[in-house]
Structure 1
Amino acid sequence: MAPYQTIKDWPEADRPREKLLAMGAQSLSETELLAIILRNGNAGKSAIDHARLLLQQFGGLRGIDEATASEISGVKGIGPAKIAQLKACLEIAKRIGSQKWETGQPLHSAADVYHHFRENLGRAKREFFYVVLLNNKNRKIREVKVSEGSLTASLVHPREVYNPVIRESAASVIFVHNHPSGDPAPSAEDIDITKRLKEVGDVMGVRVLDHVVIGHDRYFSFNDRGML
């Protein structure tokens, strides 16, 4: 039998904490994120092993959130300290998610956009495309639904996207749409549409700050990935 290895024994590029610092939290799987919260393993299992077991036993992050402390304590190796860490982090996430991005509030990051749209778009069965209008201080003016259905060039036409921008004299915009599949990775069509809309914005003098794709419990930001 191979000797037990802790995460510290892994190559640095494979360790969840180092990977997060190098590539950003959105690049980590749910298992890796949970492992960082759990911090370390025990009983001959690594934090990754414990995280994987929790996700399997409770059916995902939502199941862990809904489980009681008593139910979680039934998982071998998960004691009061780890339960408290899990519950505290999940509660913080819920409180952030409950903070709506109201008109007049400034934009700080793609995460702000994700948390605002997650409740309505994160589990939607159809694709929706929105344009968020911002003033010259990156404060929200309003959001406009441009299309509903499969994201195609015919449905997301620059004319329909930029009409409300002109009416509201917006200085900048953020595009938002969802993937019903749950995987927010952009398709070739997403990339092409974003490129065309960015080109039109450049001609009009309207800054395109981001295009955020909403998935199940995660998102993809064109700006964060340097794709704008």
Structure 2
Amino acid sequence: MEKQLPQLTATEVRLVYKTKVKPSDRVQLSNSVETYKFLISTWDEEKLELQEQFKVILMNCKNRVLGIYELSTGGMTGTVADPKLIFMAALKANANTIIVAHNHPSGDPNPSIVDKNLTKKVKDAGQLLDISVHDHIIVTRDFYYSFADMGLM
């Protein structure tokens, strides 16, 4: 007597990329000053000095912005930045390049050891996936810190 195998089912996974914005209408970021101004213009002003948030700017190969992914909102001194979620967003948006960013509610833009370790981890993961991590920007109301400008990318 032959044993019947149970019917196996699996969820279908589809990769879809849709955009309604023409490439020529997308913001192009070419340096940290432009990136900081862009981030400040899109940041929730009520959270800038209250809660730490982590965001990912998703860009095409010409550094034109495809979108901004708000990865997390945390407390006054930290938030979670899961590299898997960073690159899930990048892959879904068909991004060639990303810039990661978070704010420091304290107003001090200098990176912590945790910030430096995360930057290295994200940069290394990007290399594996052929997604360039151009910068990690730490945002405050008046200043910013650019890992790229400091030669750390």
User: Match for residue 34 of structure 2?
Assistant: 112
Which aligned pairs between 1:50-89 and structure 2 lie closer than 5 A?
Answer: none
Q: Residues 220, 121 of structure 1: CA spacing in aligned structure 2 closer, same or farther, 3 A cutoff?
A: farther
Residue 207 of structure 1 aligns with an amino acid whose one-letter code is S
Contact 1:183 1:216 in 2 (8 A): no
Q: 1:217 aligns with which of 142, 146, 149?
A: 142
2:123 is the alignment partner of 1:198: yes
Residue 105 of structure 1 aligns with an amino acid whose one-letter code is V
Identity among equivalent pairs (%): 32
Post-superposition CA distance 1:117-164 (Å, at most 9, x none): 225367430000000000011111000000111535xx2111111111
User: Match for residue 114 of structure 2?
Assistant: 189
Contact 2:49 2:107 in 1 (8 A): no
Cα distance in 1 for partners of 2:93, 2:38 equals: 21
Q: Residues 221, 117 of structure 1: CA spacing in aligned structure 2 closer, same or farther, 3 A cutoff?
A: same
Q: 1:208 aligns with which of 124, 133, 137?
A: 133
The SS at the match of 1:115 is helix
Q: TM-score, normalised by structure 2?
A: 0.76
The SS at the match of 1:196 is helix
Q: TM-score, normalised by structure 1?
A: 0.52
Structure 1 stretches lacking a partner, 5+ long: 1-102
Which aligned pairs between 1:134-149 and structure 2 lie closer than 5 A?
Answer: 134-149=59-74
The SS at the match of 1:185 is coil
Contact 2:49 2:140 in 1 (8 A): no
Poorly superposed stretches of 4+, deviation over 6 Å: none
The SS at the match of 1:136 is coil
Which aligned pairs between 1:28-177 and structure 2 lie closer than 5 A?
Answer: 104-119=26-41, 120=43, 123-150=48-75, 151=78, 155-177=80-102
Cα distance in 1 for partners of 2:53, 2:121 equals: 18
The structure richer in helix per residue is: 1
Cα distance in 1 for partners of 2:121, 2:136 equals: 12
User: Match for residue 7 of structure 2?
Assistant: none
RMSD of Structure 2 on Structure 1 (CA): 1.8
**Cα displacement (A) at 1:104:** 1.1
Residue 164 of structure 1 aligns with an amino acid whose one-letter code is A
